[in-house]
Amino acid sequence: MSKAGSTGLFRDCLSGLVFALVIITYCISFSALIFQGDIESGLTLGLSALLTGTVITGLIVALTTTLAPAGAGPDTPAVAVMSVLATAIAANAAASGMSAEQTVIHVMMAISAATLLTGLLLFAIGAFRFGIWLRFVPYPVIGGFLAASGWLLVTGGIEVMTGVAPQFSLASIGSYFTSAHVLQLLLGGAFAVGVFTLRRMINSFLVLPVTFFGLVVLVDLLLLGLGLADSLGGRSAWYLSGGADVKFWLPVSAMVEDNFDWGTLLLGAAEIGAVCGVTAISVLLDVSSLEVARQQSADLDKELKYNGVANIVSGFAGGAAGNLSLSGSILIQEAGAVSRFSGVAAAGFTALVLFFGADVASYIPTPLLGGLLAYLGLVVLTEALLRSPAQRSLTEGLLAGAIMVVIVYSGYLQGVMLGIVGACLLFAINYSRIGVVRRHLTRLEFASNVERSPQEAALLREHGAQIHVLWLAGFIFFGSSNRLFEFVKRTMDIQKDPYVRFLVLDFSGVPGLDTSAVLSIIKLRNYCDERAAYIAFAGLNEQLQNAFSSAGIITQDGPHRAFRDRNEALEWCENVLLSDFDSEDATEDSFEEWLQGVFGDEFEPARLMSYFTRKTFKEGQVLLKQGGRANSVEVLATGCVAITVTDENGHPVRLRRMAAQTVIGEMGFFRKAPRVAAVIAEQPTVVYRLTRKNFDKMQAEDPKAAAAFYRLIVRVLSDRLEFANREISALV
């Protein structure tokens, strides 16, 4: 093995040993938490289950995780729910008249069942790749979870140092410095703060393990070698006990040998389900928090899947539920781990304690074990409070702090629920500030895809302010729907002359809405009815169409209509507006007047038109074919035509509509390129056609007529370009 490889192996083994000592300590305290009162006799069985779960989950997670190096074992939230499960099962067993021994067996069976079901749940979520649906965890929840975990590690460390759960009041804090635990507290606190400071001054993995094991040897020599422990409160004040007498638990043999009552187990179904749910949440939050702490990405589905496999195996083997540990993974990393073998080593050391009954914890001074936990808490708190992305937002930082407080005083489940609700409300408030109206123009700046006659174009320029077009985007919900109503109401109230008669609401960028939004649209409809204004709804998807139809907002013959897209809606508004004026349909006489207006008194239009051929078309007839040769240019005298293309499925798509007194086909004619679109008459139409042969003849025989023709083309194209420039300027 190379020198680098041996160094890495040494670092992994050393960090694994540090984590194993901490997790064994945890298992002893967790077992005492679960088995207390009437079931205290099951403490050794519980410790066996916790250590077995640690070995199995630690080994499988270490070998499969995408966040290596990582540690695994029983997690505090899940163990807290296990203690509730144990209490419930014990109460049901006592009500059935079971002995203490039978009660312990039923509690152990409930823990094994919860572990197995937890594994099946996690495996199913990961195997079916449902992890993406669990990714919607707001950062304040992760930040609050991290901060609370760090705080609980610090307080847990103080409890390990002193043997007393800390109560953070002035009286209890003062009592620490007057009690017999002051030496333990000072030693553990100095170790935690000292290592935390040194680790940030010296960039070496050896800082933590060397300091820890060096102090362990030194304190053991003083307390045990020199006998100072007896004069300082006794051995029990400085060391843990209870890890040597470990009894194995096998659920299969218990079901066969013991008189097992499945009804008692079923009575604890709710608590078993709670263990499954809390463990799943713990995996999600631990993975997400570790991603943030290490600034790397994990495969959540894989993590869930193999954490599930670990719990399935652990459940059959008599182990308690466990999962990838945030604090354990950070501890392993801080202790110098370089690969996933560190987790394997931790599982191996724990297995030695499990199988040989070595009471390792009884030789590690509790102040140093507690100081190790407190140091780890300081590391996590630093990540959560000083390096947190939530610092960029005061509200998110406050929410993360509130989540931390709730978790500390009420529990993880309550804190996570508060975080999700709070983050959703925060999102709703922030999202509603954006507003759903992304663009707002009138017909003066934005027109439909209809090229009108000069007379109609002039009318629309004069009265176009009566038509307003609103582009909407985003999901419309209770936080933004009323803002939409108020925006439209304010716009209509401000514009008095001319007043707003038409609203085009483009919903093509709106994926959906809630009931509150429908009520706001009803309010808007009622307001428009009072003002004799029309609403044209464009781009409604099926959900929106059904919602508006069911609410009676849009009807077949009502004043408010639904259209396929914004262009159709705007064209309808233009047509209704033009119908209020006595605009006569274009005739060939008005066509001649239009030509005369283009040329003025300098040129007689008849001189130019002598080179054109008059053509008439019925509704639906094709003037120009898509893909055909562009051997002519047409001047539209009366009627109107549609510019259409055939899509890849063979369906015609209308691009533009052109009314009388304009030119069509000029681009293909001058570029000598095939027709890119078809031109179809939408009503009886008259055009004047100039063939390429007559065009060449006109240029040769009458250059002034050719110049007049060019002037006509330039005039038409200039009008189109001028309006296109106004639209582009308005849209930018």
Residue 662: how many CB atoms within 10 A of its CB? 22
pLDDT for residue 5? 65
Q: Is 163 helix (H, G, I), strand (E, B) or coil?
A: coil
pLDDT for residue 55? 94
3-state secondary structure 624-685: ECCCCCCCEEEEEEECEEEEEEECCCCCEEEEEEEECCEEECHHHHHHCCCCCCEEEECCCE
Max avg pLDDT among 153-157, 409-413, 472-476: 472-476
Q: For residue 2, name the pLDDT band (cuts at 50, 70, 90).
A: low
Top-confidence residue, 124 or 18:
124
Instruction: Say if residues 451 and 403 touch (Cβ distance below 8 Å).
Output: no
Q: For residue 499, name the pLDDT band (cuts at 50, 70, 90).
A: very high
CA–CA distance, 5 with 433 (Å, rounded to integer): 56
Max avg pLDDT among 72-76, 204-208, 423-427, 599-603: 72-76
What integer is the mean pLDDT of 101-124? Answer: 91
pLDDT for residue 539? 92
What integer is the mean pLDDT of 184-194? Answer: 86
- Which residue carries 């759903």 as its tokens? 436
Domain extents for the chain?
Answer: 3-427, 435-578, 588-731
pLDDT for residue 240? 63
Strand partners, 502: 467, 534
Top-confidence residue, 102 or 58:
58
pLDDT for residue 171? 53
Predicted TM-score (pTM) above 0.85: no
pLDDT digits (tens, 9 = 90+) for 516-546: 888 889 999 999 999 999 999 999 999 899 8
Q: What percent of the chain has a predicted confidence (pLDDT) above 70?
A: 87
C-alpha of 269 from chain center: 32
CA–CA distance, 388 with 603 (Å, rounded to integer): 78
Cα–Cα distance list, 66 to 23, 302, 307, 324, 682 (Å): 21, 8, 12, 11, 64
Instruction: Say if residues 322 and 51 touch (Cβ distance below 8 Å).
Output: no
Q: Work out the mean pLDDT of the chain and round it to a whole number.
A: 82
pLDDT for residue 258? 57
Q: Do domains 435-578 and 588-731 have the same CATH topology?
A: no
CA–CA distance, 362 with 449 (Å, rounded to integer): 85
Q: Is 687 helix (H, G, I), strand (E, B) or coil?
A: strand
Residue 603, Cβ density class (10 Å: 0-12 exposed, 13-18 middle, ≥19 buried) = middle
What integer is the mean pLDDT of 126-151? Answer: 74
Top-confidence residue, 463 or 175:
463
pLDDT for residue 356? 77
Q: Cis link prior to 652 (omega < 30° from 0)?
A: no
Q: Domain 588-731 falls in which CATH fold?
A: Jelly Rolls (2.60.120)
Q: For residue 615, name the pLDDT band (cuts at 50, 70, 90).
A: very high
Q: Which range, of 108-117, 287-296, 705-714, averages the lowest pLDDT?
A: 287-296
Architecture of domain 435-578: 2-Layer Sandwich (3.30)
Ramachandran sector of residue 138 (left: φ over 0; alpha: ψ -120 to 50; beta: rest): beta
pLDDT for residue 289? 78
What integer is the mean pLDDT of 362-381? Answer: 76
| Distant-in-sequence, close-in-space partners of 414: CB < 8 Å, separation ≥ 6 | 406, 407
CA–CA distance, 57 with 306 (Å, rounded to integer): 9
What integer is the mean pLDDT of 209-226? Answer: 81
pLDDT for residue 257? 61
Q: For residue 399, name the pLDDT band (cuts at 50, 70, 90).
A: confident
Task: Single out the residue of 427, 432, 434 nearest to residue 396, CA to CA.
Answer: 427
- Which residue carries 């809405």 as its tokens? 513
pLDDT for residue 391? 52
Q: What share of the chain is helix, strand, coil (3-state, %, to 5)?
A: 65, 10, 25
pLDDT digits (tens, 9 = 90+) for 317-330: 989 999 998 878 88
pLDDT digits (tens, 9 = 90+) for 160-184: 777 666 666 555 555 555 555 778 8
